Amino acid sequence: MAELLARSEETGFWDNPESAQQVMQRLSEIRQFVEPWEQLSEKIDDLQVLTELGLEEDDESISEEIAEGLAAARAQLHKLELAAVLAGKYDSSNAIITITAGAGGTEACDWAEMLLRMYHLWAKDHGYDYEVVSFVEGDAAGFRNVTARVGGHQAYGYLKAEQGVHRLVRLSPFDSSKRRHTSFASVDIIPELADDDEIQIEAEALRVETFRSGGAGGQHVNKTDSAVRITHLPTGITAQCQSDRSQHANRRGAMQILRARLAQLQRQRRSAEIDQLRGEKQDIAFASQIRSYVMQPYTMVKDHRTGVEKSQVQAVLDGELDEFIHTYLQTIVGQGGEE
Protein backbone atom coordinates (compact mmCIF):
# COMPACT_ATOMS: atom_id res chain seq x y z
CA MET A 1 0.00 0.00 0.00
CA ALA A 2 2.89 2.33 0.84
CA GLU A 3 4.51 1.67 -2.53
CA LEU A 4 1.30 2.41 -4.42
CA LEU A 5 0.72 5.58 -2.39
CA ALA A 6 4.23 6.75 -3.28
CA ARG A 7 3.61 6.07 -6.98
CA SER A 8 0.32 7.98 -6.90
CA GLU A 9 2.16 11.06 -5.58
CA GLU A 10 4.83 11.04 -8.29
CA THR A 11 4.91 13.86 -10.83
CA GLY A 12 3.20 12.86 -14.06
CA PHE A 13 1.32 9.99 -12.42
CA TRP A 14 -1.89 10.92 -14.28
CA ASP A 15 -0.18 11.38 -17.65
CA ASN A 16 -1.27 7.81 -18.39
CA PRO A 17 -4.87 7.75 -17.11
CA GLU A 18 -5.40 4.04 -17.77
CA SER A 19 -2.31 2.99 -15.83
CA ALA A 20 -3.10 5.47 -13.06
CA GLN A 21 -6.63 4.13 -12.73
CA GLN A 22 -5.33 0.59 -12.36
CA VAL A 23 -2.98 1.69 -9.59
CA MET A 24 -5.76 3.53 -7.76
CA GLN A 25 -8.11 0.56 -8.06
CA ARG A 26 -5.47 -1.77 -6.65
CA LEU A 27 -4.76 0.71 -3.87
CA SER A 28 -8.46 0.78 -2.99
CA GLU A 29 -8.60 -3.02 -2.84
CA ILE A 30 -5.57 -3.19 -0.53
CA ARG A 31 -6.94 -0.45 1.70
CA GLN A 32 -10.18 -2.41 2.18
CA PHE A 33 -8.13 -5.34 3.42
CA VAL A 34 -5.50 -3.47 5.48
CA GLU A 35 -7.52 -0.74 7.19
CA PRO A 36 -9.69 -3.06 9.34
CA TRP A 37 -6.49 -4.63 10.71
CA GLU A 38 -5.11 -1.18 11.46
CA GLN A 39 -8.34 -0.26 13.24
CA LEU A 40 -8.16 -3.43 15.32
CA SER A 41 -4.54 -2.65 16.23
CA GLU A 42 -5.57 0.82 17.39
CA LYS A 43 -8.36 -0.65 19.55
CA ILE A 44 -5.89 -3.02 21.22
CA ASP A 45 -3.42 -0.16 21.82
CA ASP A 46 -6.21 1.86 23.46
CA LEU A 47 -7.12 -1.08 25.68
CA GLN A 48 -3.49 -1.50 26.70
CA VAL A 49 -3.23 2.17 27.66
CA LEU A 50 -6.48 1.92 29.62
CA THR A 51 -5.20 -1.17 31.44
CA GLU A 52 -1.93 0.55 32.38
CA LEU A 53 -3.82 3.58 33.70
CA GLY A 54 -6.07 1.35 35.78
CA LEU A 55 -3.07 -0.44 37.26
CA GLU A 56 -1.27 2.79 38.05
CA GLU A 57 -4.32 4.24 39.79
CA ASP A 58 -5.41 0.91 41.31
CA ASP A 59 -8.82 1.47 39.71
CA GLU A 60 -10.76 -1.79 39.33
CA SER A 61 -13.87 0.00 38.04
CA ILE A 62 -12.54 -0.12 34.47
CA SER A 63 -12.15 -3.91 34.43
CA GLU A 64 -15.61 -4.41 32.92
CA GLU A 65 -14.89 -1.89 30.16
CA ILE A 66 -11.60 -3.66 29.37
CA ALA A 67 -13.29 -7.09 29.30
CA GLU A 68 -15.98 -5.83 26.91
CA GLY A 69 -13.34 -4.22 24.70
CA LEU A 70 -11.32 -7.44 24.55
CA ALA A 71 -14.40 -9.47 23.68
CA ALA A 72 -15.23 -7.06 20.84
CA ALA A 73 -11.61 -7.19 19.62
CA ARG A 74 -11.62 -10.99 19.61
CA ALA A 75 -14.85 -11.04 17.62
CA GLN A 76 -13.40 -8.59 15.09
CA LEU A 77 -10.21 -10.63 14.86
CA HIS A 78 -12.25 -13.76 14.15
CA LYS A 79 -14.06 -12.01 11.26
CA LEU A 80 -10.80 -10.67 9.82
CA GLU A 81 -9.15 -14.09 9.98
CA LEU A 82 -12.07 -15.61 8.06
CA ALA A 83 -11.93 -12.79 5.52
CA ALA A 84 -8.24 -13.50 4.97
CA VAL A 85 -8.90 -17.21 4.50
CA LEU A 86 -11.78 -16.69 2.06
CA ALA A 87 -9.58 -15.21 -0.63
CA GLY A 88 -9.57 -18.13 -3.06
CA LYS A 89 -10.44 -17.69 -6.72
CA TYR A 90 -13.98 -19.02 -6.32
CA ASP A 91 -14.70 -18.26 -2.67
CA SER A 92 -16.98 -15.30 -3.41
CA SER A 93 -19.15 -17.40 -5.76
CA ASN A 94 -22.56 -18.94 -5.27
CA ALA A 95 -22.50 -22.63 -4.32
CA ILE A 96 -24.07 -25.69 -5.92
CA ILE A 97 -24.71 -28.50 -3.42
CA THR A 98 -25.28 -32.08 -4.55
CA ILE A 99 -26.23 -34.64 -1.88
CA THR A 100 -26.09 -38.33 -2.79
CA ALA A 101 -27.37 -41.14 -0.58
CA GLY A 102 -24.81 -43.85 0.04
CA ALA A 103 -24.77 -47.11 1.98
CA GLY A 104 -27.93 -47.62 3.99
CA GLY A 105 -30.87 -47.87 1.54
CA THR A 106 -34.01 -46.03 2.65
CA GLU A 107 -32.17 -44.81 5.74
CA ALA A 108 -29.53 -43.15 3.57
CA CYS A 109 -32.15 -41.49 1.35
CA ASP A 110 -33.86 -40.08 4.43
CA TRP A 111 -30.48 -38.91 5.72
CA ALA A 112 -29.86 -37.10 2.41
CA GLU A 113 -33.12 -35.19 2.92
CA MET A 114 -32.14 -34.33 6.50
CA LEU A 115 -28.84 -32.88 5.24
CA LEU A 116 -30.71 -30.89 2.59
CA ARG A 117 -32.91 -29.39 5.30
CA MET A 118 -29.83 -28.59 7.41
CA TYR A 119 -28.20 -26.59 4.61
CA HIS A 120 -31.50 -24.88 3.81
CA LEU A 121 -31.79 -23.65 7.41
CA TRP A 122 -28.13 -22.59 7.48
CA ALA A 123 -28.58 -20.61 4.25
CA LYS A 124 -31.76 -18.99 5.58
CA ASP A 125 -30.04 -17.96 8.82
CA HIS A 126 -27.26 -16.28 6.82
CA GLY A 127 -29.52 -14.45 4.41
CA TYR A 128 -28.60 -16.53 1.38
CA ASP A 129 -30.92 -17.40 -1.48
CA TYR A 130 -31.73 -21.10 -1.60
CA GLU A 131 -33.38 -23.23 -4.26
CA VAL A 132 -33.66 -26.95 -4.96
CA VAL A 133 -33.04 -27.36 -8.68
CA SER A 134 -33.28 -31.12 -9.23
CA PHE A 135 -33.83 -34.36 -7.34
CA VAL A 136 -34.33 -38.10 -7.62
CA GLU A 137 -36.55 -39.44 -4.86
CA GLY A 138 -35.84 -42.54 -2.82
CA ASP A 139 -38.10 -45.54 -3.15
CA ALA A 140 -39.72 -45.09 0.28
CA ALA A 141 -38.44 -41.76 1.64
CA GLY A 142 -36.01 -38.93 1.05
CA PHE A 143 -33.73 -38.56 -1.95
CA ARG A 144 -31.27 -40.74 -3.75
CA ASN A 145 -29.78 -37.56 -5.19
CA VAL A 146 -30.67 -33.89 -4.83
CA THR A 147 -29.05 -30.66 -6.04
CA ALA A 148 -29.60 -27.20 -4.57
CA ARG A 149 -28.22 -23.74 -5.28
CA VAL A 150 -27.16 -21.38 -2.49
CA GLY A 151 -26.76 -17.81 -3.74
CA GLY A 152 -24.91 -15.02 -1.97
CA HIS A 153 -21.48 -13.51 -1.34
CA GLN A 154 -18.96 -16.19 -0.30
CA ALA A 155 -21.55 -18.98 -0.22
CA TYR A 156 -19.06 -21.34 -1.85
CA GLY A 157 -16.21 -20.10 0.36
CA TYR A 158 -18.08 -21.18 3.47
CA LEU A 159 -19.86 -24.27 2.20
CA LYS A 160 -16.75 -25.88 0.72
CA ALA A 161 -16.06 -26.88 4.34
CA GLU A 162 -18.98 -29.33 4.02
CA GLN A 163 -17.45 -31.31 1.17
CA GLY A 164 -17.29 -35.01 1.99
CA VAL A 165 -19.14 -37.99 3.43
CA HIS A 166 -21.51 -37.45 6.38
CA ARG A 167 -22.45 -40.34 8.71
CA LEU A 168 -25.62 -40.70 10.79
CA VAL A 169 -26.20 -43.15 13.65
CA ARG A 170 -29.76 -43.39 15.04
CA LEU A 171 -32.66 -45.66 15.90
CA SER A 172 -34.32 -46.23 12.55
CA PRO A 173 -37.87 -44.91 12.14
CA PHE A 174 -38.17 -47.39 9.24
CA ASP A 175 -37.24 -50.44 11.32
CA SER A 176 -40.17 -52.02 13.18
CA SER A 177 -37.66 -53.49 15.66
CA LYS A 178 -36.26 -50.01 16.36
CA ARG A 179 -32.68 -51.13 15.85
CA ARG A 180 -29.78 -48.74 15.52
CA HIS A 181 -28.75 -48.02 11.93
CA THR A 182 -25.77 -46.26 10.36
CA SER A 183 -26.34 -44.25 7.19
CA PHE A 184 -24.10 -42.32 4.82
CA ALA A 185 -24.53 -39.52 2.31
CA SER A 186 -21.97 -37.55 0.33
CA VAL A 187 -22.06 -33.78 0.01
CA ASP A 188 -20.46 -32.31 -3.10
CA ILE A 189 -19.88 -28.54 -3.27
CA ILE A 190 -18.87 -26.70 -6.44
CA PRO A 191 -18.79 -22.97 -7.26
CA GLU A 192 -21.33 -21.54 -9.68
CA LEU A 193 -19.55 -19.76 -12.51
CA ALA A 194 -20.42 -16.47 -14.14
CA ASP A 195 -21.75 -16.79 -17.70
CA ASP A 196 -18.46 -15.56 -19.17
CA ASP A 197 -16.19 -17.49 -16.84
CA GLU A 198 -13.74 -20.21 -17.72
CA ILE A 199 -15.58 -22.48 -20.14
CA GLN A 200 -17.52 -22.30 -23.37
CA ILE A 201 -19.79 -25.10 -24.62
CA GLU A 202 -20.68 -25.75 -28.26
CA ALA A 203 -24.39 -26.33 -28.89
CA GLU A 204 -23.74 -29.45 -30.98
CA ALA A 205 -22.01 -31.06 -27.99
CA LEU A 206 -25.28 -31.09 -26.02
CA ARG A 207 -28.32 -33.34 -25.86
CA VAL A 208 -31.30 -31.57 -24.33
CA GLU A 209 -34.26 -33.56 -23.00
CA THR A 210 -37.45 -32.37 -21.34
CA PHE A 211 -39.54 -34.36 -18.88
CA ARG A 212 -42.23 -33.92 -16.27
CA SER A 213 -41.09 -33.03 -12.79
CA GLY A 214 -42.64 -35.39 -10.28
CA GLY A 215 -42.33 -35.95 -6.60
CA ALA A 216 -43.05 -33.80 -3.61
CA GLY A 217 -44.17 -30.72 -5.48
CA GLY A 218 -44.32 -27.51 -3.53
CA GLN A 219 -42.39 -28.88 -0.58
CA HIS A 220 -39.26 -29.15 -2.68
CA VAL A 221 -39.81 -27.94 -6.26
CA ASN A 222 -42.69 -27.04 -8.52
CA LYS A 223 -44.37 -29.83 -10.47
CA THR A 224 -44.08 -28.89 -14.13
CA ASP A 225 -44.08 -30.38 -17.60
CA SER A 226 -40.92 -28.46 -18.45
CA ALA A 227 -38.07 -29.98 -16.47
CA VAL A 228 -34.84 -30.07 -18.46
CA ARG A 229 -31.94 -32.53 -18.52
CA ILE A 230 -28.80 -31.62 -20.50
CA THR A 231 -26.07 -34.12 -21.36
CA HIS A 232 -22.61 -33.06 -22.52
CA LEU A 233 -21.96 -35.74 -25.13
CA PRO A 234 -18.12 -35.71 -25.16
CA THR A 235 -17.88 -36.32 -21.41
CA GLY A 236 -21.25 -37.84 -20.52
CA ILE A 237 -21.71 -35.30 -17.72
CA THR A 238 -25.35 -34.42 -17.09
CA ALA A 239 -27.25 -31.70 -15.27
CA GLN A 240 -30.94 -31.19 -14.77
CA CYS A 241 -33.24 -28.49 -13.41
CA GLN A 242 -36.91 -28.75 -12.50
CA SER A 243 -37.41 -25.86 -10.11
CA ASP A 244 -39.31 -23.51 -12.41
CA ARG A 245 -42.54 -23.67 -14.43
CA SER A 246 -40.70 -22.18 -17.38
CA GLN A 247 -38.76 -24.56 -19.63
CA HIS A 248 -36.50 -21.67 -20.60
CA ALA A 249 -35.64 -20.94 -16.96
CA ASN A 250 -35.01 -24.62 -16.24
CA ARG A 251 -32.72 -24.87 -19.26
CA ARG A 252 -30.76 -21.87 -18.05
CA GLY A 253 -30.46 -23.42 -14.58
CA ALA A 254 -29.33 -26.76 -15.97
CA MET A 255 -26.72 -25.03 -18.12
CA GLN A 256 -25.31 -23.20 -15.10
CA ILE A 257 -24.87 -26.49 -13.26
CA LEU A 258 -23.44 -28.22 -16.33
CA ARG A 259 -20.93 -25.43 -16.91
CA ALA A 260 -19.83 -25.61 -13.28
CA ARG A 261 -19.32 -29.38 -13.50
CA LEU A 262 -17.46 -29.17 -16.79
CA ALA A 263 -15.26 -26.40 -15.47
CA GLN A 264 -14.38 -28.57 -12.52
CA LEU A 265 -13.53 -31.48 -14.81
CA GLN A 266 -11.35 -29.16 -16.87
CA ARG A 267 -9.48 -28.03 -13.76
CA GLN A 268 -8.99 -31.64 -12.74
CA ARG A 269 -7.43 -32.51 -16.06
CA ARG A 270 -5.00 -29.62 -16.17
CA SER A 271 -3.85 -29.34 -12.54
CA ALA A 272 -4.28 -30.42 -8.95
CA GLU A 273 -6.59 -27.46 -8.33
CA ILE A 274 -9.51 -29.85 -8.06
CA ASP A 275 -8.18 -30.96 -4.66
CA GLN A 276 -8.65 -27.39 -3.44
CA LEU A 277 -12.25 -27.27 -4.62
CA ARG A 278 -13.69 -30.67 -3.76
CA GLY A 279 -11.22 -32.50 -1.60
CA GLU A 280 -10.36 -36.16 -1.98
CA LYS A 281 -13.19 -38.26 -3.41
CA GLN A 282 -14.13 -41.10 -1.09
CA ASP A 283 -16.56 -44.01 -0.95
CA ILE A 284 -19.89 -43.16 0.67
CA ALA A 285 -19.49 -45.77 3.40
CA PHE A 286 -17.61 -46.69 6.59
CA ALA A 287 -14.21 -45.13 7.38
CA SER A 288 -14.65 -42.34 4.84
CA GLN A 289 -16.76 -39.80 6.72
CA ILE A 290 -15.67 -36.25 7.50
CA ARG A 291 -18.34 -35.84 10.19
CA SER A 292 -20.47 -38.14 12.33
CA TYR A 293 -23.91 -37.32 13.73
CA VAL A 294 -24.72 -39.73 16.56
CA MET A 295 -28.25 -39.76 18.01
CA GLN A 296 -28.10 -43.14 19.78
CA PRO A 297 -26.83 -44.38 22.29
CA TYR A 298 -25.57 -40.84 23.06
CA THR A 299 -25.87 -37.52 21.23
CA MET A 300 -22.86 -35.94 19.57
CA VAL A 301 -21.74 -34.41 16.30
CA LYS A 302 -18.01 -34.74 15.66
CA ASP A 303 -15.95 -33.38 12.78
CA HIS A 304 -13.14 -35.88 12.20
CA ARG A 305 -10.94 -33.33 10.39
CA THR A 306 -10.84 -30.67 13.11
CA GLY A 307 -11.94 -32.51 16.24
CA VAL A 308 -14.82 -30.10 16.89
CA GLU A 309 -17.61 -31.77 18.88
CA LYS A 310 -21.12 -30.63 19.82
CA SER A 311 -23.63 -32.54 21.92
CA GLN A 312 -26.68 -30.70 20.56
CA VAL A 313 -27.30 -32.86 17.50
CA GLN A 314 -30.72 -31.36 16.74
CA ALA A 315 -29.34 -27.82 16.85
CA VAL A 316 -26.73 -28.78 14.25
CA LEU A 317 -29.39 -30.43 12.08
CA ASP A 318 -31.34 -27.18 12.43
CA GLY A 319 -28.50 -25.33 10.69
CA GLU A 320 -26.06 -24.40 13.46
CA LEU A 321 -22.95 -25.19 11.42
CA ASP A 322 -20.79 -22.10 11.90
CA GLU A 323 -18.46 -23.59 14.51
CA PHE A 324 -17.69 -26.54 12.24
CA ILE A 325 -17.31 -24.37 9.13
CA HIS A 326 -15.22 -21.61 10.74
CA THR A 327 -12.89 -24.04 12.51
CA TYR A 328 -12.31 -25.96 9.28
CA LEU A 329 -11.57 -22.77 7.35
CA GLN A 330 -9.13 -21.51 9.97
CA THR A 331 -7.35 -24.74 10.85
CA ILE A 332 -7.34 -26.57 7.51
CA VAL A 333 -7.64 -23.91 4.79
CA GLY A 334 -5.93 -21.21 6.82
CA GLN A 335 -2.89 -23.42 7.40
CA GLY A 336 -2.49 -24.23 3.73
CA GLY A 337 -4.60 -27.39 3.50
CA GLU A 338 -6.61 -25.78 0.68
CA GLU A 339 -6.67 -22.50 -1.19
Which helix (H) or strand (E) element contains residue 291? strand 289-294
- Segment 129-156 shows an average pLDDT of 92
Question: What's the confidence (pLDDT) of residue 123?
Answer: 97
Q: Are residues 101 and 67 in the same domain?
A: no
For residue 61, the tally of other CB atoms under 10 A from its CB is: 8
What CATH number does the domain containing 53 carry?
Answer: 1.20.58.410
Over residues 8-21, the pLDDT tens digits come to 999 999 999 989 99
Q: How confident is the model at residue 38 (pLDDT cuts 50, 70, 90)?
A: very high
List, for residues 59-118, the tens digit of each pLDDT value.
888 999 999 999 999 999 988 888 888 878 888 889 999 999 997 789 999 999 999 999
Region of 22 (left: φ > 0; alpha: ψ -120 to 50; beta: rest) is: alpha
Contact between 47 and 70 under an 8 Å Cβ cutoff? The reply is yes
Nearest to residue 302, comparing CAs of 330, 284, 323, 318? 323
- What's the rounded mean pLDDT across residues 259-270? 77
Condensed to tens digits (0 to 9), the pLDDT of residues 286-313 reads 557 999 999 988 999 999 999 999 999 9
Q: Which of 24-38, 61-75, 212-226, 263-277 has the highest mean pLDDT?
A: 61-75
Higher pLDDT, 123 or 331: 123
Full residue range of the structural domain in which residue 133 is found: 90-339
* 47 and 187 housed in the same domain: no
**Residues 223-248, mean pLDDT to the nearest whole number:** 84
Q: Are residues 79 and 123 in the same domain?
A: no
The CATH code of the domain that includes 209 is 3.30.70.1660
Q: Are residues 59 and 113 in the same domain?
A: no
Same domain, 151 and 73: no
Whole-Å CA distances, 185 to 54, 80, 180, 198, 268? 56, 33, 17, 30, 23
CB atoms within 10 A of CB 301: 25
- Domains held by the chain: number: 2
Do 249 and 265 have their domain in common? Answer: yes
Q: ∠281-285-291 over CA atoms, to 5°? A: 75
